[in-house]
Chain A
Amino acid sequence: MKHLLLVVSLGLFLTSLSGFATPSYKVTVNGMVCSFCAQGIEKKMKALSETKDIYVGLKNRLVVVEVKEGLTLSQDVIRKIIKDAGYEVKSIEVSEHPIEHIKSGMDK
């Protein structure tokens, strides 16, 4: 029984670690009002080796970058890409959830 509890606890611990090791960055972007003009953000973010997936939301001015498991991505890099694309970063939040969860609006 003790062994079973130990294994379950270890499993939960590792799952939790894995969740934190692959955060998504929720970036609120000022000025992002047109898909034709916002392509640069998507292309440059996707080109990063750390990026697993990206979501651009025009209605909520949101860019979400999901990082590959085990990798980290500096917020400075995100800020630079968005600034170089001609926009302004209003805020960056770290979320434990993947993009699909955030897109569904459950990450509030």
Chain B
Amino acid sequence: MFTCNFRLWVIPLILLSSHLVFAAPMGFEGSVMTMVDFNQNWREVGFNYAITSRDALGLTHLEFRSDDYKDKREVDTLNYTRLLSRWNSTDAQSNLWLFMGIGEIRGSANNQSIDSKGIASPGFQFDYETTRIYFAATHKLYRASNLNHDNTSIRAGFSFYEAEYNETQPWFILETKYTNQISDKIEVIPMLRLINKNIFVEGGMNNSGQPRLNLMYTF
């Protein structure tokens, strides 16, 4: 019964999103942004197409698992990303983003297979950036029948120096991340970020000693 109601609720939400928590979750109008987030227990790949300067549609495949590997999830979603608001000032920009996602989740719990279910994944992100500092807070829900894998991420960092448009700019970024019902740990990941126009790379190691790599490319 719940499943039926749940599905009815999510049908109007053909609004989906990219969860990948990067500098900006979509590119300029007409661009395609590809994204990869890869570590031991969280692997995500996706892309979106910016249909306007404020709206993007895309697809994401996500796999994540518990620290003991007994619980695994695979999520495929169709995503809608919306720039709700942007504030431009002389030396800074801040944004409020809306993510909406709908799709399917499957996997295993305690090594027992769980049935495929519909999932909705709405979320928000607020970010603030200058040429020297960066901050982003993201909260995204991953809700299906009897499943709640809400994810919260906070990122903050600074660039080592101001770079020109054609130069590579290095950043230090510290992320803290928590995913509900999959791990009790709060993941802390210091990373080096490099940006050169349409190429965005981040790499680091979390507080469990697991490497993490994020890539983003716009074309």
Contacts and interface: CB of A to CB of B under 8 A. Distances in A.
Interface of A: 30-44, 56-59, 61, 84-88, 90
A33 to B, nearest CB: 5
Counting chain B residues whose Cβ lies within 8 A of the other chain, the interface size class is 20 to 34
For the complex, would chain B's binding face be called helix, strand, loop or mixed by DSSP majority?
loop
7 tightest Cβ-Cβ pairs between the two chains A and B: A40-B28, A31-B88, A31-B93, A56-B165, A30-B88, A88-B88, A33-B131
Nearest to B31: A40
A58 B28 contact: no
Contact of A33 (B83, B93, B200): B93
Contact of A84 (B27, B29, B89, B169): B29
Nearest to A85: B28
Interface stretch (B56-64, B69-77, B190-198): B190-198
Given A58-B164, A84-B53, A35 B169 contact: yes
B84 to A, nearest CB: 12
Contacts of A40: 27-29, 31, 53
B198 A33 contact: no
A84 B218 CA distance: 18
Contact of B83 (A36, A61, A86): A86
A36 B200 contact: yes
